[in-house]
Structure 1
């Protein structure tokens, strides 16, 4: 009897407590609990929940169909808001596949076998409330047409996309996160400029030879590492008043290809220029907190790159400085560096 009581408590108590959660927390919890509730309490009354999926009563607006070996999208009840279809072998998304799922807020269909040709041109047309769409790790060669203008988060990385046209993302005024990394992009033109709400753009791991220009003005995070970028535009950062994180590692940047004062802008928190071909430390703002320059060809520790004036109120705010894998040693650090770099805990060299 004691064992039965303990079992009931272990199952029912979390269900009772979960009523105080918001929908997003509930979705995350359900997804990461090994489908305990789904497998014990799957709601298939009246055949509303497909037999191959789980629809837990404790979170009735979610439907879990991930990692089930599916080759096609099952029938989706109209009340479902959070649909998990990832890690299957789904090969097509015809126009009718989501026609009944007009209340969807999240659609997770990453790690499948979708191609651009297999996605209907009207497949997403009725999803007017969709906020998150995960399409990464498929076989797409282009961005699907008629994506919902309600999207906040679009992840379409790890595909085979070679081009982004302005019409692909037209009207997406709400989009804040765009993952396009690990595709085959050689240029993006002006296709991203109109994304006025975009704060995170990841286009790393492509075939870019220059920094995309123009870019959305409100960016906070820009990731362009693992490309073949060999230069930075003049006054590049002057266009961005909110940019805090830039990652440009694993490119072909040299001292001559970076205009003076490019990175000497206040507001920047993290700058990653590691694994390039720099021979000098670029001039950076005293407000920068994290600077990564490892694996370049730097031959001199130039303290003036961090501080032009040093006194009680003027000093670098750097916390992290990596210079390992260059052509300098600890003996090259000036003796008075501690006055300028007084907040750095450790200089890796």
Structure 2
């Protein structure tokens, strides 16, 4: 598939079914207006990270492939209502699935899935979950910790504080520590950060007469039973939860001029300003998918689909709203 597919910037519907495709080019992330993407009946094993740039996507059909994992960037698809992943090789879903706030239909039939992330219960509009022929593990004892984590290391404890409070780090921090901080995951219960040390709990819920096994990944022992889990929902956030940003009072009467409190704040801001040039905000460590550069307009590009490439270059297809590249049975002509 030609990377020039990224030139179809105005396209809203794209059909690529039944083509024996083994990969989707990263340049598909340039199709910012895409609302419907059909890539079923191919030989795909992964989906590109740049899929997260398709923020207008409403339907994604990727059934009958060989997909094993989903990219974490799928969390950016806030308008997605239909996600069809039937007949693939997916064994686990990422916790980022809980960010698909508009999802209504989730098709997962004929996948080797044992558990679903508990974050999926946050999807208020979810009405259908297809789990036919999935080896779901329903033999789960509630009120039981299935897997206990080892105690957090000193490095993890320090990293948790840094991520939880969004503290800036020094520019000279070693790269492996930066990568470590960027790898933080969110606790299912309190949304606080954790790294290697986690506690996994499982329970079975019933939705529309269908039993669904859920998996909770916790940063600490927030609760020991299902009763404790419900009680924790009505308690103040624990100390492991992310710290909300604080701001200085804006009222001129909050601190009188010359007060010790105001003086301490002034000195603190001066010190922060002197260090700002040598520190980095933690948000700068976030990994974002990189879009490759598109080829220049006038350059001659050699690709497998030469005719399609030429049409893209000349603008014959670039203004199209709906495009279909579907293979036809043998003996038929286009």
TM-score range, shorter chain: 0.3 to 0.5
Name the structure with the higher helix share. 2
Normalising by the residue count of structure 1, what TM-score does the alignment of the two structures yield? 0.39
Q: Tell me the TM-score normalised to structure 2 length.
A: 0.41
Task: Considering fraction of residues, name the structure with more strand.
Answer: 2
